[in-house]
Amino acid sequence: MERTTPAALALLLAACAPGAFAASNTDLSVTGVITPSSCTPTLSDGGIVDHGKLTARDLDPDKPTSLQAGEMNLLVNCEGPTFFTLTTEDSRSESVALNPAHHGLGMTNDDEKLGNVAFGLFDPVADGAPAQTILSRDGGATWYPSSYLGHAALTSFAAPSSPTTPMALQTLSARLRAFTMIAPASDLTLVDEVPIDGLAVMQLKYL
């Protein structure tokens, strides 16, 4: 154990005394969220929409080509009645070709934007009763009916009789549909095989 002599202690006290040096401050924050219960979202088919193989001839040369809509089931199970929202994070945002509110599909080998995919939630059932999908573009201040699911807004669910107010729920099921559009073929270099490479993360956040 080190011992401090009186002389050394005096130096230490002087160094700590008010006015000995100019003071510098910084904030120390402790943050977090305590939620009433946790929720777990799951998607059928592993959350994958597979359009299979397409040929360049399948694409319209002059306007975007809509592919057959993909569909999967969304289930959300919470430990108790919970207010929550859904949104997405687009991992291919740099490749959105047609609508910035939708999600990118990757690039061709010549760095051309391939297209985009939009998601929607339909026929929601909350705690065994029909519900309404609703949307907010202002961080939750106001809501209105919409099937949109994406990174440009918050999505939640309401009773059909009160479609502007999110409701707490414990279980939710809904059809999640993916609407894929490929850019006009004349805008793409398709001499090599090009993968459709969309990737988005669905996020559940508590209100």
Residue 43 has pLDDT above 60, yes or no: yes
**Domains annotated on the chain, with CATH:** 36-206 (2.60.40.1090)
Cα angle 64, 177, 179; round to 5: 5
Q: Which helix (H) or strand (E) holds 6?
A: helix 6-16
In the prediction, which pLDDT does 6 show? 35
More confident residue, 31 or 88: 88
Are the C-beta atoms of 180 and 114 separated by less than 8 Å? no
Question: Which of 8-17, 96-105, 157-166 is predicted least confidently?
Answer: 8-17
pTM, two decimal places: 0.80
In the prediction, which pLDDT does 25 show? 75
Q: How far apart are CA 200 and CA 61, in angstroms?
A: 27
Mean local confidence (pLDDT), 2-21: 39
CA distances from 109 to 101, 115, 141, 158 (A): 24, 14, 43, 44
Q: How far apart are CA 85 and CA 144, in angstroms?
A: 14
